[in-house]
């Protein structure tokens, strides 16, 4: 299948292979056949440039509990090669987007499940990627926050013309 700018959902029961497909697309798992292309070129061969274009929120978050939210998001900005002089503003931008601005200096260990979920969403969007992949992004969120986050994902797709894939 071919995806362009748009909003795509992978829906299905547990064990259907949704997360496996996402892990193949994002390079976390090798495929048995076929290929994953980004702009017509192998995503594996592009590696660094593909990873720069990718924002990924895995189902299993892998947060560092000893880090504060600010430190964790700054670390992710460094991994995405966002210049150090832009990091603070980028962290503030994504923290505001997921309504965590007032919680950034708390350790991740003290975050609720929903707050950790929002950090995961912020993590995926930190570098304003061309391809945003969210694996079960709204699961631990309360109804109001879920609605706001869903609206923001729609905004990213509609206004920024990104490719957004989410699993639910």
Residue 154's pLDDT is: 85
Handedness of CA 85, 61, 145, 128 (dihedral sign): positive
Residue 107 has pLDDT above 90, yes or no: yes
CA distances from 96 to 10, 55, 112, 116 (A): 27, 18, 17, 14
- The strand order across the sheet containing 54-57 reads 6-10, 163-167, 131-135, 54-57
Distance CA 23, CA 129 (A): 17
User: Please, are residues 105 and 92 in contact by the beta-carbon 8 Å criterion?
Assistant: no
Q: Could you report the per-residue pLDDT of 28-67, keeping only the tens digit for each?
A: 888 888 888 888 888 888 778 888 889 898 877 788 999 9
Residue 159 has pLDDT above 90, yes or no: no
pTM of the shown model: 0.84
| Confidence tier at 68 by pLDDT (50, 70, 90) | very high
Which pair of tokens denotes residue 165?
Answer: 């894939």
């Amino acid at each position: 299948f071919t995806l362009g700018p748009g909003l795509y959902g992978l829906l299905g029961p547990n064990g259907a292979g949704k997360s496996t497909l996402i892990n193949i697309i994002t390079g976390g798992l090798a495929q048995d056949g076929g290929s994953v292309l980004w702009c017509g070129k192998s995503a594996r061969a592009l590696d660094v440039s593909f990873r720069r274009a990718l924002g990924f929120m895995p189902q299993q978050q892998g947060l560092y509990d000893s880090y504060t939210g600010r430190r964790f998001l700054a670390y992710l900005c460094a991994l995405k090669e966002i210049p150090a002089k832009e990091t603070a503003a980028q962290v503030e931008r994504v923290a505001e987007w997921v309504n965590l601005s007032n919680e950034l200096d708390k350790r991740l260990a003290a975050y609720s499940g929903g707050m950790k979920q929002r950090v995961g969403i912020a993590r995926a969007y930190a570098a304003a990627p061309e391809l945003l992949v969210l694996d079960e992004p709204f699961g631990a969120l309360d109804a109001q926050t879920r609605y706001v986050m869903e609206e923001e994902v729609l905004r990213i797709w509609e206004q920024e013309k990104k490719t957004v894939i989410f699993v639910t």
